[in-house]
């Protein structure tokens, strides 16, 4: 390498470092973007072999399309938003570049006070915002048999808090899958392999957009 080329390369590297955003979690160019999916049984893959769980199917699709993104499954069956909050520090490692938050279904199924779910999710997202991690929120909708009053309090939690924290929003994690018997297991609540595949396919664009924010934000 000639002296002129060496000096130019050094100056370019220094300029790039000076211009880089002050965010210690930003993924350096040349390594995969690591995205943690923090969720409940819908993320963990309840009733499915690991290869058919939503994060695994999402990973396969991303890899097949040439995206240098790693999806980490941080789903725990039965978790409410409050449960996710209690394990946040160890679920979100130092190598995490962005987070998908997919919690809230169990709050709804247990009929928890939507005001408490809102407070818990607000706290959780605030903690993640302090880490300057780009966020994608996968929303949930209340089962209509809980009544219009409950739905009116529960459903807006996710879009409201996504707006507050500047997070991306996928409005309803089970879009196109909920209530379709062919896409759910026998309990009618958890997606089967095909249901998880449909969700994974729908999440490709939001997740790719999320990964792009890692280097931009």
| Residues designated catalytic | 41, 187, 190
- H runs (alpha helix) in 102-192: 105-109, 114-130, 148-154, 157-165
Structure tokens at 168: 């991306």
In angstroms, the CA 41 to CA 53 distance is 10
User: How many Å separate Cα 42 from the centre of its chain?
Assistant: 12
In angstroms, the CA 21 to CA 51 distance is 36
Contact 207, 200 (CB under 8 A): no
List the strands of the sheet with 168-170, edge to edge. Answer: 69-75, 33-39, 98-102, 135-138, 168-170
Angle of CA points 122, 127, 131, to nearest 5° = 140
3-state secondary structure of 19: helix
């Amino acid at each position: 390498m000639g002296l002129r080329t060496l000096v130019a390369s050094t100056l370019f590297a220094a300029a790039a470092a000076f211009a880089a955003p002050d965010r210690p979690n930003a993924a350096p160019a040349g390594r995969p973007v690591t995205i943690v999916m923090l969720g409940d049984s819908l993320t963990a893959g309840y009733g499915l072999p690991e290869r058919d769980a939503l994060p695994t199917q999402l990973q396969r699709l991303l890899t097949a399309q040439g995206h240098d993104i790693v999806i980490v499954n941080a789903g725990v069956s039965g978790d409410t938003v409050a449960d996710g909050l209690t394990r946040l520090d160890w679920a979100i490692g130092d190598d995490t570049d962005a987070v998908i938050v997919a919690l809230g279904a169990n709050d709804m199924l247990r009929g928890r006070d939507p005001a408490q779910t809102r407070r818990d999710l607000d706290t959780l997202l605030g903690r993640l915002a302090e880490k300057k991690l780009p966020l994608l929120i996968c929303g949930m909708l209340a089962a209509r048999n809980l009544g219009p009053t409950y739905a009116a309090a529960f459903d807006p939690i996710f879009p409201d808090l996504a707006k507050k924290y500047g997070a991306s929003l996928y409005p309803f994690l089970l879009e196109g899958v909920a209530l379709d018997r062919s896409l759910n297991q026998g309990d009618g609540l958890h997606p089967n392999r095909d249901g998880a595949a449909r969700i994974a396919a729908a999440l490709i664009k939001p997740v790719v957009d999320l990964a792009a924010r890692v280097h931009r934000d």
